[in-house]
């Protein structure tokens, strides 16, 4: 796992650096200003200029397929979370049912599909653009929420080691350093949230206010379950199915 993690970080970082370098070489010193003028067509315009029409079509196809892959991955992650919560009895146990043939958590996918249909249907009923409203609202909200979760997890690692009197400095210091960097990134993302969403909508840009409310609700639920159902609380995250 450590080698795979380091390799993934190195590959992704190198790709982003190369992409930024390629944009700068292709567009020159005004790359940031030109990209801000028309962000939706900036990359496609460069592709058409340097690679021709077929290059633009190829990149468009890659964008569509990568977007589908990302959505499919997020859907699967959501289903696995619901399945795990059902398995640990935080949600109804029926959600932890799987197919006998392949072990897929098909029941856990039902509430995820319902939530997605209601969300997309609500935006469609309100006449909001799916790209400029739905995508920007949920992508920005999810990105900041994920960064905050990673930040809390990074601080939880050294806290765990210190609580268990572990003297190893590297496993304690490195997650702490990562947590500090993630905290700085979270602050920058929240302070510049309109740039992250790319919209001037006050409603969309006010969505991060819901994050501390959701966090507080989770803490209250955890404390309640710890007192009322200690056996279920102690089993959370242990991947035990013998219940």
Q: Which of 45-49, 136-140, 146-150, 230-234 has the lowest mean pLDDT?
A: 136-140
* DSSP secondary structure letter of residue 89: T
What DSSP string runs through 170-196? HHHHHHHHHHHHHHHHHHHHHHTHHHH
pLDDT at 99: 85
Q: What is the pLDDT of residues 90-127, one digit of tens each?
A: 888 889 888 888 888 889 999 999 998 998 888 888 78
Mean pLDDT to the nearest integer, 25-48? 78
Residue 218 vs residue 136, higher pLDDT: 218
- pLDDT greater than 60 at residue 241: no
Query: Rounded to an integer, what distance in angstroms lies between the CA atom of residue 60 and that of residue 62?
Result: 5
Prediction pTM value: 0.72
pLDDT band at 242 (very low <50, low <70, confident <90, very high): very low
């Amino acid at each position: 796992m450590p080698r795979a993690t380091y390799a993934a970080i190195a590959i992704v970082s190198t790709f982003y650096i190369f992409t930024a370098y390629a944009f700068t070489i292709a567009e020159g010193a005004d790359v940031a200003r030109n990209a801000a003028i028309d962000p939706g067509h900036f990359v496609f315009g460069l592709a058409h200029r340097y690679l021709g029409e077929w290059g633009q079509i190829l990149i468009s196809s890659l964008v569509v397929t990568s977007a589908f892959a990302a959505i499919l991955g997020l859907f699967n992650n959501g289903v696995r979370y619901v399945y795990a919560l059902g398995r640990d009895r935080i949600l109804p146990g029926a959600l932890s049912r799987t197919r006998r043939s392949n072990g897929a958590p098909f029941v856990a996918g039902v509430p995820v599909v319902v939530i997605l249909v209601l969300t997309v249907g609500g935006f469609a009923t309100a006449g909001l653009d799916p790209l400029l409203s739905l995508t920007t609202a949920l992508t920005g909200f999810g990105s900041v929420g994920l960064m905050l979760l990673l930040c809390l997890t990074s601080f939880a690692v050294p806290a765990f080691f210190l609580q268990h009197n572990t003297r190893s400095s590297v496993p304690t210091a490195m997650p702490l350093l990562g947590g500090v960097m993630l905290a700085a990134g979270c602050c920058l993302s929240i302070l510049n949230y309109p740039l992250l969403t790319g919209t001037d909508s006050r409603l969309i840009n006010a969505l991060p206010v819901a994050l501390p409310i959701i966090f507080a609700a989770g803490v209250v639920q955890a404390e309640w379950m710890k007192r009322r159902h200690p056996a279920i609380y102690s089993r959370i995250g242990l991947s035990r199915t013998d219940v």
